[in-house]
A = this chain, B = another copy of it.
């Protein structure tokens, strides 16, 4: 049971996953070749193939990225009990740090595949749902705590948050907006729909 050099096939697959991620960021989905992954992983293309075909590998990477993105955000919200902190943390955690934010880029590199691949679409759908769920529960909680005054169904507002975020992410990745600008914009929206100003001290 003693793991030898990282622990066999499982570990190797994980290493490969990381390689796929790096390669995907460098080359994009369009133009990603087996060789890119192989070079990133320091093995031969044939060796990469040994662990599964390109599509599966990429799909897995996407899946992982979604999982990580969602979890990180969920944890970011869980870290606090006050809904205002939760919302602040939630927003701050979701917005990409800049055009090189690996996780976010991964998500958007892959996105167009959703238009043609049902499995990819399903993953993307789940991603969105999880984001909405986070925002939604924060809003409900904030209302219960008496911090937020809300006029629309929480789920609608939450969806708006996520959509706006999504739209802005693309601009951050394209280098047209900074993370700070986007956060400001999201705070403005938050104030408009909750009546609470996140930028103020509590």
**Interface, chain A (partner B; CB < 8 A):** 28-30, 99, 105, 108-109, 111-116, 121, 124-125, 128, 151-152, 156-157, 159-160, 162-168, 170-171, 173-176, 184-185, 188-189, 191-193
Contact = CB atoms under 8 A, between A and B. Distances in A.
B29 A125 contact: no
Contacts of A121: 174-176
Q: How many copies does the complex hold?
A: 4
Nearest to A28: B116
Contacts of A114: 174
A57 to B, nearest CB: 16
Contact of A185 (B160, B185, B191): B160
Contacts of A29: 30, 112
Contacts of A28: 112, 115-116
A105 B116 CA distance: 12
5 contacts: A30-B30, A108-B112, A111-B170, A152-B192, A166-B170
Given A166-B166, A166-B167, A175-B121, A156 B111 contact: no
A162 B192 CA distance: 16
A125 to B, nearest CB: 6
A90 to B, nearest CB: 16
B105 A109 contact: no
Nearest to A125: B176
B111 A105 contact: no
B189 A160 contact: yes
A130 to B, nearest CB: 13
A185 B166 contact: no
Given A112-B108, A115-B28, A164-B160, A128 B176 contact: yes
A167 B132 CA distance: 13
